[in-house]
Structure 1
Amino acid sequence: MTPDWSSLDRELEHWQTAGLTLPLWWRDDDAMSHSTELERLTALSAQLDLPVHLAVIPQGVTPDLGRFVADNPQLIPVVHGWAHQNHAPAGEKKAEFGAHRPLEELLDDAERGLTALQEMFGTSLRPMFVPPWNRIAPEMMTWLAGAGFTAVSTFTPRKNAKPASGLLRVNTHLDPIDWKGARSLVPPDQLIAQVVRQLRDRRLGDADNAEPYGLLTHHLVHDEAVWGFTAALAERLLDGPAEAWIYDERMS
């Protein structure tokens, strides 16, 4: 069944009429190695001319990923925690960098992740910290810049642009996967309605349009429905008011 994009098309027309621009960025999580799924992600990125900030799990990364990223500069590696290991007690939401471990231990793992990926990717690595499951202990924010990071990224609209000195917050806003259900695509009408609400809030000044609007994907678990919707949405946004955004540490 073809999604009904008419409500989004109308919202994008309002943006065009108002002369507004939507900064758009793409983050894809859980990369560890070269795969056919990663090749598909890379091809879609090239087709859209929209770079992908690839959140790489440091402990599990393999050398072939380093070589593939070097050959495909539209893939921008960032740090996805350390081992993507859950440390939350039973019954609580999963977290690797939640308030379940000593702060020193959290920072040690974050630094280890940064160092490991700097060794693999060199200057192509952006010092952005992406905590697994998008959860992070608030007290870590003050220390991330001291550990060498210049940005942090989780999910949902940010409450402030700089949670700590020298640290920029750039979140993601739309995840098309139904994680609690079939692990396929969330019903498209729900996703489209969510995008329309988020864009309307930005257009009317009820949300921060200086924060790039973030698409969040997980290439290793996509089915055809997720791939198709992601491509169709990004194409619509880029044909309208959206402009591709890439993180540069000088922004912090």
Structure 2
Amino acid sequence: MTPDWSPLEDELSRWQKAGLILPLWWRDDDAVQVTPELDRLTMLSERLNMPVHIAVIPEPAEWALAEMVERRPALIPVVHGWAHRNHAPSGEKKAEFQLHRPMPAILSEARQGLARLRDLFGPALRPMFVPPWNRIAPEIVEELPGLGYRVVSTATPRKRAEPVAGLCQINTHLDPIDWRGSRSLLDPQRLIAQVTDQLGDRREGRADNDEPYGILTHHLVHDAAIWAFTEALLSRLMNGPARPWIMEKDEEKQ
């Protein structure tokens, strides 16, 4: 069944009539190497003229990925933890950067992640820290600026623009994958309603429209339904009030 996009289209029309701009960004997690799925992500990004921040896992990341990024400026690398390894005890939610280990070991991995990806990507790398599974202890967040990070990114609307001095929070707000069920696309009408409600809250001042609205994807596990929905959603946003947000480079002012 074809989704009914009219609720979102009506909301986007309200934005345009009000002369509002939606800052929009795209984050895609778990890049390690060049794959057909990454090629497809890149082509979609270029077709939409919508850059995608790829969260790269530092420990297993391959040089070929850096070579691809050098050729394809639509791909913007950021740091995705260290090894995407779960350290939580059995029965707890998966996490790599919660306080399940000594703090020095945790901070060492966060520091190594930034250093290794700077070696791989050079100035193309943005110093954004994306903790695997979107989970990170507040005590670790406090240390990120001292390690060289300027942005932390998890999920759901941020509580504060700067969780600590010198560090911005730029989260994601919509993940189309049914992780706990089919691992395919969630009910598209539910997703359309979610986006529509979130944008309505921003338009009416109940939510922070200074925070870029984030779409989260995972190219390695997409099926045809996820690819199709992602393209349809981003196309509508880009044809409406959305303007791409791109994290600036180290040498540029954030």
For this structure pair, what is the TM-score category when the shorter chain's length is used for normalisation? over 0.9
CA shift at 1:104, angstroms? 1.6
Q: Report the 3-state secondary structure (helix = DSSP H, G, I; strand = E; otherwise coil) of the residue aligned with 2:78.
A: strand
Distance 1:251 1:194 in 2: 33
CA shift at 1:17, angstroms? 1.1
Aligned to 2:24: 24
Question: Is 1:86–1:95's contact at 8 Å kept on the other side of the alignment?
Answer: yes
Q: Report the 3-state secondary structure (helix = DSSP H, G, I; strand = E; otherwise coil) of the residue aligned with 1:27.
A: strand
Aligned to 1:236: 236
Aligned to 2:78: 78
Amino acid at match of 1:19: G
Q: Report the 3-state secondary structure (helix = DSSP H, G, I; strand = E; otherwise coil) of the residue aligned with 1:81.
A: coil
Distance 2:183 2:54 in 1: 21
Percent of aligned pairs with the same amino acid? 62
Residues 149/138 of structure 1: CA separation in 2 closer, same or farther (3 Å cut): same
Q: Report the 3-state secondary structure (helix = DSSP H, G, I; strand = E; otherwise coil) of the residue aligned with 1:238.
A: helix
Q: Report the 3-state secondary structure (helix = DSSP H, G, I; strand = E; otherwise coil) of the residue aligned with 1:146.
A: helix
CA shift at 1:114, angstroms? 0.4
Cα RMSD of the aligned pairs, angstroms, is 0.8
* 1:156 partnered with 2:152: no
* 1:247 partnered with 2:212: no
CA shift at 1:251, angstroms? 5.4
Alignment of 1:45-60 (within 5 A): 45-60=45-60
Where do 4+ consecutive residues of structure 1 move more than 6 Å?
none
Question: Is 1:128–1:151's contact at 8 Å kept on the other side of the alignment?
Answer: yes
Q: Deviations over 1:19-67 (max 9, x none)?
A: 1100000000000000000000000000000000000000110111011
* 1:191 partnered with 2:188: no
Distance 1:167 1:242 in 2: 24
* 1:11 partnered with 2:11: yes
CA shift at 1:100, angstroms? 1.3
Q: Report the 3-state secondary structure (helix = DSSP H, G, I; strand = E; otherwise coil) of the residue aligned with 1:202.
A: helix
Distance 1:141 1:30 in 2: 20
Alignment of 1:1-252 (within 5 A): 1-248=1-248, 250=252, 252=254
Structure 1 residue runs without a partner (length 5+):
none
Distance 2:102 2:25 in 1: 33
Distance 1:142 1:89 in 2: 24
Q: Size of the alignment, in residue pairs?
A: 252
Q: Report the 3-state secondary structure (helix = DSSP H, G, I; strand = E; otherwise coil) of the residue aligned with 1:196.
A: helix
